[in-house]
Amino acid sequence: MAKVPAAAVAASGLIGGYGVARWTGKRQLGGAVLAVAGATAAQQWRRQAGGRAAGALTVAYVVGFAGSHPLAKKVGAWPAVFGVAGAVALASWAVADRRG
């Protein structure tokens, strides 16, 4: 089975978490998706790039989630979520995924 890049896991967690919360009306369920994907990505980041990089990328993931809320007021919810997910995915690729 092919390995899923941490960038894809992180982006999917941000997008999927919002989607689940929105479509089910249950924010806690969306939060669970966000948390599971974030923890999975963090494990991959630690294996690929070390603890310091994993910590920085985890902070970026959480800041991206939090930052999408005020950004959504300016550009809309989905554009904000996609923008933040793309930024976190790019950071993940640059720091961890391209190393292998």
C-beta of residue 10 within 8 angstroms of C-beta of residue 89: yes
Report residue 71 as tokens. 């950004």
> Rounded to two decimals, what is the model's pTM?
0.93
- Residue 99 pLDDT grade (very low, low, confident, very high; cuts 50, 70, 90): confident
Q: Stretch 55-81: mean pLDDT, rounded?
A: 97
Q: Stretch 67-91: mean pLDDT, rounded?
A: 97
pLDDT digits (tens, 9 = 90+) for 27-41: 999 999 999 999 999
The confidence score (pLDDT) of residue 100 equals 62
User: What residues contact 93, with CB distance under 8 A and at least 6 apart?
Assistant: 5, 7
Q: Where are the alpha helices (DSSP H) in the chain?
A: 6-24, 27-49, 51-75, 77-95
